A and B are shown apart, each in its own frame.
Chain A
């Protein structure tokens, strides 16, 4: 039940695109399409921005997209905006019936 592996930090300038990877194993990310992504601004609760690997809840800008290949899921934010600066977490079901988050990635908009 180790945390999924995410880069500790990524950065980009406004208008650019960034990607955040989330690497697990065949027992979690690779084995299920139950991968979601969360955005968390300081002092606030997490916000669901991607579910079922690629789907965006209504209200989430289409600048946010995601995919999965093998044991790695990837979140892409295009047309970076200042308000995108936040922490991002991936989450996946595991084959033991539990769920696991990634360690989190701090996005800095330069």
Chain B
């Protein structure tokens, strides 16, 4: 059974930093592109970033470029999101999700998400 467990969320002041982690199991982590997607309270889904199987390619949206860094550790089957210079608008539930080539890089698996609240 695929499991994705996000952690590291919490309350942080504007301008602060957080590092989110995602522990993956039930599939061969190193075979998948991995993504972070977030959802602000009462708002829609926002794709943030992804990283290739070997970490050689990374893509991110402009709103987080230069502030958020995606990384992975295949030996630990773990995905990370280093978030710096946090803003109130970064408040959201953050999901870790693999992109499955068998589903044309759609996201068939999701974790429960971790809530990040940016507030003074």
**CB within 8 Å of B: which residues of A?**
1, 3, 33-34, 36, 38, 40, 45-48, 51-52, 55, 57, 87, 89, 91, 93, 96-104
- Within 8 Å by CB of B45, from A51, A55, A104, lies A104
* Listed A/B pairs (5) with beta-carbon separation below 8 Å: A45-B95, A45-B111, A46-B110, A93-B105, A97-B59
> Contacts of B111 on A, CB cut-off 8 Å?
45
- Known interface pairs A36-B104, A45-B110, A45-B111; A98-B45 also in contact (CB < 8 Å): no
Taken together as a complex, chains A and B put the C-alpha atoms of A1 and B65 apart, in Å, by 12
The answer, yes or no, to whether B27 is at the interface (CB within 8 Å) is no
Q: A48 and B61 in contact (CB under 8 A), knowing A91-B47, A101-B45? A: no
Of chain A, the residue at the smallest CB distance from B103 is: A51
Question: Which B60-98 residues have C-beta < 8 A from chain A?
Answer: 60-63, 95
What is the size, in residues, of chain B's interface with A at 8 Å between Cβ atoms?
A: 24
> Nearest-CB distance from A63 to chain B (Å)?
19
Taking Cβ atoms with an 8 Å cutoff, the residues of B that contact A are 35, 37, 44-47, 50, 57, 59-63, 95, 103-108, 110-113
Closest 10 CB pairs of A and B: A45-B110, A104-B44, A52-B104, A51-B106, A36-B106, A51-B103, A97-B59, A101-B45, A99-B47, A48-B108
User: What is the CB-to-nearest-CB distance from B50 to chain A, in angstroms, rounded to a whole number?
Assistant: 7
> How many angstroms between the C-alpha atoms of A97 and B50 in the bound complex?
9
Q: Name the A residues within 8 Å of B35 (CB-CB).
A: 99
Q: Are A100 and B44 in contact (CB under 8 A)?
A: no
The one of A33, A45, A101 in contact with B46, judged by C-beta atoms closer than 8 angstroms, is: A101
Q: Does A48 lie within 8 Å of B103, measured CB to CB?
A: yes
State A45–B93 Cα separation when bound (angstroms).
10
CB pair A103 B59 closer than 8 Å: no
Question: How close is B6's CB to chain A, nearest CB, in angstroms?
Answer: 10
